Amino acid sequence: MYEQLRAHFEKKITLTDADFQKAVKFFVPKKIRKGQFLLHEGDIGRYGGYVNKGCLRQYSIDDKGEEHIVQFAIEDWWISDMYSSLTGTPAKYNIDALENSEVLSLDARSQEQLCLEVPVFERFFRLLLQGAFIAKERRIMASLSESAEQQYLDFQKAYPQIAQRVPLNQIASYLGITPQSLSRIRKEMVEKK
């Protein structure tokens, strides 16, 4: 169950067996069935976690009741409400499962404790954060400069596994367009070829 997590850490840092064992203790395995929640808007002190298996989404709900997806996460990704866990404020997002999933969850306090006990995790999380930051920046750039069609192509190219597994209406929400529009875009793409 934890081999995958270890391999994941070791992409960014090197770990002794002892340190890895210390780290593992902070993670709580959770099975989350399709439609169930890992995090609810308003929760406090929850962080999120590492996805062992399955697929989840992070989203918020606006005044009109519309969902807007900030991020998907599949195997070997992290998903969390960084803002609320860093500031200790109530969560602004929901995280729920699009497939039956397994998550190794980590709350805000455990993450801190882990960094204190095994300082190399300070580095690990910094590197994780850097990658996440860059991805967000790229997404902003795309939304500023590209057509909806181009953004959909980019998405398919950057995250092919997600594009295949996730329903079209969810991808539309991620891209900031309606499912109807995405359906039409896809149709035109087929006709062109």
- Encoded one letter per residue, x for contact with a second copy by CB under 8 A and - for no contact, window 98-137 reads ------------------------xx-xx--xx-xxx-xx
Selected from 125, 149, 153, 165, the binder of DNA by CB under 7 A is 149
Name the residue among 131, 60, 76, 69 with its Cα closest to residue 98: 69
Q: Which does 140 bind (CB under 5 to 8 A by kind): a second copy, DNA, none?
A: a second copy
Interface with DNA by CB under 7 A: which range of 104-112, 117-125, 153-161, 167-175? 167-175
Asked if residue 112 lies in contact with residue 180, where contact means CB atoms within 8 angstroms, the answer is no
DSSP state of 91: P
Minimum CB distance to DNA, residue 60 (Å): 17
10 binds a second copy (CB under 8 A): no
Q: Which residues contact 23 (CB under 8 A, 6 or more apart)?
A: 9, 15, 114, 118, 121
Alpha-helical (H) ranges within 88-177 are 108-117, 120-145, 148-158, 160-165, 168-175
Distance CA 38, CA 33 (A): 10
What is the binding site for a second copy (CB under 8 A)?
60, 62, 66, 68-70, 82-83, 86, 122-123, 125-126, 129-130, 132-134, 136-141, 143-145, 173, 176
